[in-house]
Structure 1
Amino acid sequence: MPDLAALFSAADPPPTPAYVYDLDELDRSHAALRAALPAGGELFYSLKANPHPAVVGALVGAGCRAEVCSPGELRAALEAGADPAGMLYTGPGKRDVDVAEAIEAGVGFFSVDSPYGLDQLDRIARRYATPVRALVRVNDDSPAPGQGLTMTGVASQFGADVRWVRKEPELFAARAYVRPVGFHLYMGSNIAAEDALYAQFAQSVATAVELAGATGVEPEVLDLGGGFGVPFARAGGRPDLTGLADRLTALLTDAFPGWPDRGPAVAFESGRYLVGTCGTLVTRVLDVKRSQDATVVILESGINHLGGMSGLRRLPPIVPDLVAVDGATGEPVPATMVTGPLCTPLDTWARAATLPPPRPGQLVAVPNVGAYGLYASLVAFLGHPAPVEVTIAGGRVTGMTRLALTRNVVTGTNRG
């Protein structure tokens, strides 16, 4: 983590709660992931992890292409300087108006999950007389082991089942304004072990080769997804992937002789690995009390600022590490319940944590929340202010913003 004690003891410190994004750490993460990938591979940044303009701008400036899946992410990528011609627009369901906005903006590369998705893209591209390229997203027959969140090998909104593509390849063929140029396989996410990452990529490459033979279409582009894991809201660093690049290079040259000079362009995607370790949530203790033989620590941040999906039990609950910003120590307090300020019992981060002695007014920090932190939370729930977002580089503040939660009047009858 950066030197938070110095940052928040300065003459004009940021207000809290604050998400602090360390752009120097972002650079280190990008360099580490690039080193773990084959030299001939492309790297997309998945904006769903964190669309903050400084974060996106830094990664685009470092050479990442943008992967977006909504009109909001498209606008964020464009505002950060991403080239629309190099973007990949994904998502299992797309509104006509959103596809049209993307084509108008210059996006010409889409991932589609069904024959209807190809028909929809063709219909809208025809309206603009603008040919586009597509990747057919494939749901493989079985998941690869070691995944944090399985996204293939099960009934899924993501992709067309591989047996469907194999059986009826004509449904996934070119349309007048859409040219399928390859396959998109994303097996799962939050995979920390190098062996597990390699296994999923090897399975995806084998599936792509098999589909190319079954359909008679040699892929020009192969998107192998990502899933590169890092700790979330817990202490720790990026996993060591130093052996992955050589293994992937050997895999790809074996599958596609002459690669990367011949064969498909191969792309990888990452969100959490690139930005996860660059973000820290700094928040303040509001109250400390005893209840039913437990110590209860109430923070100014809860599920509205971190782990909203976990708070609603849609994902396993998180139990964040809390680090005292001022370095305070003492005999750990067991059986500590950690909550936020929201008027609901669901606003709980932990029920039996062990923490250094907390006190009202104390600043504490949650590490490794640069990915799926603020932007995966319930910021509109119960109307508390959104945290500020602070970017730092070289230990100095380079920017400070706050999400605006405003209500706009919508007029007209077509509000799609």
Structure 2
Amino acid sequence: MRTQIDKAHDLAERFGGWKDGVLAPGGVKVSDIAAEHGTPFYLYHGEMIVDRVRRVREALGGDVEVTYSVKANPNLAVTQVIAREHLTGAEVASSGELVVARTAGFEPEDIVFAGPAKTDEELEMAVREGIFAVNVESVNEINRLAAVAERHDKNIGVGLRINPAQQLMGSGMRMGGTVGQFGLDEADLEEAVRRTLAHPEHMTLRGIHVYTATQVFEVDPLIEHCRNIFELALKTADLAGRPLEMVDFGGGFGVPYFEKLEEFDLERFGAGFQELLAHYRTDPRLEGCRFVFELGRYLVADAGLYVTKVIDVKDMKGKTFVTTDGGMNHHLTATGNMGQVFRKAYPILNLSRSPGEGEPVALAGPCCTPLDMFGTNIPLADPEPGDLVGVFYSGAYGFSASNLGFLSHPNPAEILIWQGEARLLRPVGKPEDVLKGQEALV
């Protein structure tokens, strides 16, 4: 089993050909980026994202659509890189993400909107934009959406997000097949179809959406789960009395952040799914149907690097502590504070030193809380103040998923490596940014 340091070395090679302490994705040295723009910063590798999107499309087959879950990384330029491939649609979970998707270039007919608590304003925006489907999550939401569509005298596509009776096993986080806030109970499917079809002038039943888990690594249970979704789709088509236009299988392909996790076998899953699709696609109830996988983390996670600078190195009762200028305030997930039951370290390297394992250290951020810790046993090679530390797998759920206002440290920069250039997307914040949008007492 490969260790985290082995995994970090592999990721560095994949990201930018790391050699003798020099990481240069696209030919641009990370140390030069830090010197020009300051630290901390998120660095995204556009070509890696494009390569992953193409690999997924090839594995799943040309008749399967891939939809980018914008929540994973809503940075506009990152979203544009994906949109310009013309190989994907977009799945959004808020009005803000809908703005990003449209600005990035996704067409309305390739956008779906999911989320357990859509406001009337968000439903109105979806209707005005004319997106392909609002994936409704309750019978009440169907009624609300119908009222909005009628008020605007428009027709809106509807996907029924179903919480299936059967769980997907072998996953990291379950959002279906259990009791929770996501989706319609499978027992309510007939009523949901009836309510949707009751508004033919203002609602069109597109199909179903089933997203039950994320961080899935086991291929066979996922294929069986897709088989169950196909059967649920046929049941829905029977209830509707006509073929479906969409079956959204969710996604959740795993990213191996931690030790003892291997890469998701994309090729084996793709082969299994294509075989499954060949069996069901000839059913007249799925004639002309769009088959969709929505992926976010899997498309962008390994194409992102969080870079932070060592501020201090000190010994405390026999333990070496290394503190950096960014931590949980900038990268909540990498410090294990985004709902993880067990806090484990991401693959991390000292980018200012030659490849080597180094002695284990505790790596902490700048926040005044013991929670601000990347890890307590990280083999960091010879850390000294001023060194650059790289946290891999940082392309997803990084900047936007963090509590950036905590302790009022300036925000990190966001930078994209694209076509051999380092393009500044968002500058490093300034201390006075904390006052933006606030009004003082007169």
Pairing 1:42-61 to 2, within 5 Å after superposition: 42-61=65-84
Q: TM-score, normalization: structure 1?
A: 0.90
- Rounded to whole Å, the distance in 2 between the matches of 1:394 and 1:235 is 34
- Show the counterpart of 1:326: 352
- Show the counterpart of 1:34: 57
What is the CA RMSD across the aligned residues, in angstroms? 2.7
- Show the counterpart of 1:414: none
1:241 lines up with 2:255 in the alignment: no
- Show the counterpart of 1:203: 228
- Show the counterpart of 1:113: 137
Structure having the larger proportion of residues in helix: 2
Deviates more, 1:21-30 or 1:206-215: 206-215
Q: Secondary structure at the match of 2:187?
A: helix
- Rounded to whole Å, the distance in 2 between the matches of 1:260 and 1:7 is 54
Return closer, same or farther for 1:235/1:260 CA change in 2, 3 Å cut-off: farther
1:159 lines up with 2:183 in the alignment: yes
Are the equivalent residues in 2 in contact too, given 1:330–1:357 (CA < 8 A)?
Answer: no
Q: Secondary structure at the match of 2:257?
A: coil
Are the equivalent residues in 1 in contact too, given 2:328–2:372 (CA < 8 A)?
Answer: yes
Q: Shift of residue 282 of structure 1?
A: 1.1
Q: Deviations over 1:224-251 (max 9, x none)?
A: 1111122338899953412333322221
Q: Deviations over 1:3-23 (max 9, x none)?
A: 535523439533211111111
Identity of aligned residues (%): 31
Q: Secondary structure at the match of 1:344?
A: coil
Q: Secondary structure at the match of 1:206?
A: helix
Q: Shift of residue 106 of structure 1?
A: 3.5
Unaligned runs of 5+ in 2: 1-14, 18-22
Are the equivalent residues in 2 in contact too, given 1:298–1:338 (CA < 8 A)?
Answer: yes
Return closer, same or farther for 1:299/1:66 CA change in 2, 3 Å cut-off: same
Are the equivalent residues in 2 in contact too, given 1:296–1:338 (CA < 8 A)?
Answer: yes
Unaligned runs of 5+ in 1: 411-416
Q: Secondary structure at the match of 2:29?
A: helix
- Show the counterpart of 1:170: 194
Are the equivalent residues in 1 in contact too, given 2:40–2:412 (CA < 8 A)?
Answer: yes
Deviates more, 1:231-240 or 1:285-294: 231-240
Residue type of the alignment partner of 1:8 = V
Q: Shift of residue 88 of structure 1?
A: 0.7
- Show the counterpart of 2:43: 20
Are the equivalent residues in 2 in contact too, given 1:88–1:110 (CA < 8 A)?
Answer: yes
Q: How many residues in Structure 1 have an aligned counterpart in Structure 2?
A: 409
Are the equivalent residues in 1 in contact too, given 2:333–2:397 (CA < 8 A)?
Answer: no
- Show the counterpart of 2:437: 408
Pairing 1:271-286 to 2, within 5 Å after superposition: 271-286=296-311
- Rounded to whole Å, the distance in 2 between the matches of 1:289 and 1:199 is 52
Deviates more, 1:113-122 or 1:98-107: 98-107
Q: Shift of residue 125 of structure 1?
A: 1.1
Q: TM-score, normalization: structure 2?
A: 0.85
Return closer, same or farther for 1:236/1:56 CA change in 2, 3 Å cut-off: farther
- Rounded to whole Å, the distance in 2 between the matches of 1:332 and 1:409 is 46
Q: Of the candidates 16, 32, 36, which is equivalent to residue 10 of structure 1?
A: 32
Q: Deviations over 1:345-404 (max 9, x none)?
A: 221221233332221111110111101111211111111111111111244213332387
Q: Secondary structure at the match of 2:36?
A: coil
